[in-house]
Amino acid sequence: MAPLSILLVEDDEIDAMNLLRAIKKSQVEIGEVKICKYAEDALLTLDSWVPGCVFLDYQLPKTSGLELLKKIKEMAPQLPVIVLTSQGDERIAVEMMKAGATDYYPKSEINAEKLTKAFHTLGQMLEVEKGREDARQELAEKEEFINKIALLSPNIIYVIDIEKWTNIFHNKQIWKILGYSEDDIVTDTKNGLKQIINNQDQLTFRRHYHYMRHYVKDVDVIEKEFRLKHKDGSEVWIITREVPFKRNEEGTVQEVLGTAIDITSRKLAEQELLQAKRDAEEATRIKSDFLSTMSHEIRTPMNGIIGFTDILLNSDFKGQDKEYLKMIKNSADNLLVILNDILDFSKIEAGKFGLDSFQFDLKEKLDFLIRTFEVRAKEKSINLLFECDDDVPQILLGDAYRLNQILINLVGNAIKFTEDGFVKIAIQLEKDHGTNVDLRIDVSDSGIGISEDKLNDIFDSFSQAHHNNATRYFGGTGLGLSITRKITELMNGTISAKSKLGEGATFSVVLNFGKGGISIEEETANAPENLSLKGFRILAADDVPANQMLLKHLLRRWEAEFTICGNGREVLNSLDGDGDYDLILMDIQMPVMDGITAMKTIRSLYPKYAHVPVIAFTADTFAENAPELASCHFNDFVTKPFKAEELIRVISRHLAFSNAARPVVIS
């Protein structure tokens, strides 16, 4: 493959430099590279120079990327154009591909490895297209002189009687392509066609010539691909170009003049590309399976840790012991947030990331945050400071877990890169909207700081982190800050950074929260976890002993009658008994028989339980979107590790309470 020349149409110098770095690191020989900031400059450049490929930014000043793409395609229809955008958008991708774009990449996903694959694929496409174009050109040149050069032509030239299905004329090239010598040449003109046409294309062959015979005009040139039989039994692909050569008295085509070339190499290249696509899809499936497995392996033990800590917090522990338990609970919650970073990043990229909304005590969350980091701060002699304006509401409505995740990442980075001095968390009311508020959270430090020219790069995604000193500075891959930015944006907030090298840094986040209605203490008194399920029979299945013990404790607390099973087979055995159950809690991954198999059996073979609600337990954060789960008609999902109030809330939602059996508040 010759050195690849590139035209880059990009108005952002930083993005242009990032792309150039990735291009230079790709394993492809690069020729001349020209950069244009504006569409007009790009069009003028293309008037006098044709590159091998164009990289086009979707968002350009004055002229949109789509308009420029259309103009480029008018000038050079075969010129490959790869569209770049700041963020992935399926609608934009479809629009650009329809307009003729060769490929489409979010800027955050571009790296040397992807470009290497893209350039190799592009090279193969160009070679395939060049082969096709060469074939057309060659055939056009040969048509005029076919009668004079037929015997000397490197291409197959032939005349076929499609009325009698006989071969009238062909040159020797066809036998050379099919692997025959002079002594092997087929002389049976009547059956010769049938002998060399691949069996799978016999019907296609006859349909093609039926069309040629009855519908083609003399000026029409028909192109078709066929498979022939090689002497060794392999397939030989040819592309033919044919015209009517002779008509009978009725005016239908009797003879066809044609020429053909061997395109087997091109077809093999296409098959390799298809296999590469399948391999990529398989790699994606393996990655998804890995993430699903890791989600299950991480969340299953965390369910026991968090669940039993909740139980102890509701027991008689007081004073320092209760504070220790709260710290264990808070640390477990924080650990789960951190462990979920990779999973969350994948879900964000897949568009499957959700936010919760519930009431929480801001002061309590921040107190836990301070306690979480105060040991690390003391070890480095850092003063950990906290300020909160008086007009900031204490009880808020929103996703406290995602707020906690943002703060853990920012405060953790601040402490990590501060050797002495301070780390300060300041919260102030940015704007009061009546029922909701905008809060500004500043995390400042006296650390080593960041140079101003790197501030725009510190939130880069994982794929670019190893190319970027600023991102490397903020923690290995930079994944934490990338997720922080993405979560902030999903919460309709903003995040920014100010810093000077050697003078510390300040990260500012502005988020919107609803105002809480009642205090957490008042709400707890009426929380679903304090309801009674007396009079209801519940069947619960989980293979992990710790989870079974946790379920027993909770169901006893809620005064329900229950049966605990260790796998799906035990569930079916329980349903075969005399007892009636009002609700089933079913873990998905269990030995002997998993929850999905058990659920399918219940819905198909147990009509008595056709309308009994079944709630799925899963430690797989991707499971809720799995079509297989949806097809089993689970009524709801509870993701491990679950909270007691979450579980009872879901149970209460699906039980049909009558006047005689209504959940009552446990005093």
| Better pLDDT: 151 or 202 | 202
Residue 258, judged by CB atoms within 10 A of its CB (0-12, 13-18, 19+), counts as: buried
**SS3 for 432?**
strand
Do 362 and 473 fall into the same domain? Answer: yes
Between CA 159 and CA 494 the distance in angstroms is 72
Q: What is the pLDDT of residues 571-589, one digit of tens each?
A: 999 999 877 899 999 998 8
Q: What is the pLDDT of residue 440?
A: 96
DSSP state of 218: T
- The alpha carbons of the chain give a radius of gyration, in whole angstroms, of 35
Instruction: Indicate yes or no: pTM above 0.75.
Output: no
**SS3 for 115?**
helix
- Quick check: is 131 in a domain? no
Region 258-281 average pLDDT: 88
Confidence of residue 138 (pLDDT cuts 50, 70, 90): confident
Confidence of residue 46 (pLDDT cuts 50, 70, 90): very high
Q: What is the pLDDT of residue 314?
A: 80
Choose the final residue of a domain: 243, 262, 281.
262
Q: What is the pLDDT of residue 581?
A: 94
Q: What is the pLDDT of residue 411?
A: 92
Region 43-54 average pLDDT: 91
Q: Does the pLDDT value for residue 285 go beyond 90? A: no
What residue numbers bound the domain in which 395 lies? 356-522
- Quick check: is 662 in a domain? no
Q: Does the pLDDT value for residue 657 go beyond 60? A: no
Q: What is the pLDDT of residues 146-166, one digit of tens each?
A: 556 766 777 888 888 888 878
Confidence of residue 133 (pLDDT cuts 50, 70, 90): confident
Choose the final residue of a domain: 209, 241, 262.
262
**What are residue 343's phi and psi, to 5 degrees?**
-65, -40
Domains held by the chain: number = 4
Contacts of 27 (CB under 8 A, 6+ apart): 112, 116
Q: What is the pLDDT of residue 536?
A: 94
Q: Does the pLDDT value for residue 88 go beyond 80? A: no
Do 545 and 622 fall into the same domain? Answer: yes
Q: Are 116 and 1 in contact (CB under 8 A)?
A: no
Between CA 581 and CA 537 the distance in angstroms is 5
User: Which amino acid is located at 474 in the chain?
Assistant: F
Q: What is the pLDDT of residues 92-102, one digit of tens each?
A: 888 888 888 88
| Helix pair 400-416, 479-490: axis angle to 10 deg | 150
Residues in the chain: 667
| Better pLDDT: 423 or 637 | 423
Q: Does the pLDDT value for residue 212 go beyond 90? A: no
Q: What is the pLDDT of residue 483?
A: 80
- Residue 83's CB: how many other CB atoms inside 10 A? 25
Here the CATH number for the domain that contains residue 611 is 3.40.50.2300
Q: What is the pLDDT of residue 473?
A: 43
Q: Are 455 and 478 in contact (CB under 8 A)?
A: no
Which range has highest mean pLDDT (210-214, 282-286, 561-565)?
561-565
Region 221-233 average pLDDT: 88
Between CA 597 and CA 589 the distance in angstroms is 10
* β pairing state of 583-587 and 537-541: parallel
Closest CA to 526 of 534, 518, 536: 518
Q: Percent of the chain beyond pLDDT 90?
A: 27
Q: Does the pLDDT value for residue 45 go beyond 90? A: yes
- Quick check: is 348 in a domain? no
- Quick check: is 302 in a domain? no
Between CA 81 and CA 97 the distance in angstroms is 10
Do 563 and 595 fall into the same domain? Answer: yes
Region of poorest pLDDT, from 321-325, 408-412, 504-508: 321-325
Region 324-353 average pLDDT: 69
- Quick check: is 41 in a domain? yes
Do 229 and 378 fall into the same domain? Answer: no
Do 361 and 489 fall into the same domain? Answer: yes
Do 95 and 116 fall into the same domain? Answer: yes
Return the bridge partners of 511, or none: 439
Confidence of residue 472 (pLDDT cuts 50, 70, 90): very low
Q: Does the pLDDT value for residue 520 go beyond 70? A: no
Do 459 and 579 fall into the same domain? Answer: no
Do 629 and 608 fall into the same domain? Answer: yes
Q: What is the pLDDT of residues 13-42, one digit of tens each?
A: 898 998 898 888 888 888 899 999 999 999
End-to-end alpha carbon distance in the chain: 80
Region of poorest pLDDT, from 278-287, 342-351, 403-412, 601-610: 342-351
Do 392 and 499 fall into the same domain? Answer: yes
Contacts of 168 (CB under 8 A, 6+ apart): 158, 159, 160, 161, 189, 255
Tell me what the pLDDT averaged over the chain comes to.
Answer: 82
| Better pLDDT: 622 or 585 | 585
Q: Are 607 and 583 in contact (CB under 8 A)?
A: no
Confidence of residue 639 (pLDDT cuts 50, 70, 90): confident
Here the CATH number for the domain that contains residue 256 is 3.30.450.20
Region 540-567 average pLDDT: 93
- Quick check: is 664 in a domain? no
Which range has highest mean pLDDT (592-596, 620-624, 642-646)?
592-596
Q: Are 651 and 540 in contact (CB under 8 A)?
A: no
Q: Percent of the chain beyond pLDDT 70?
A: 83
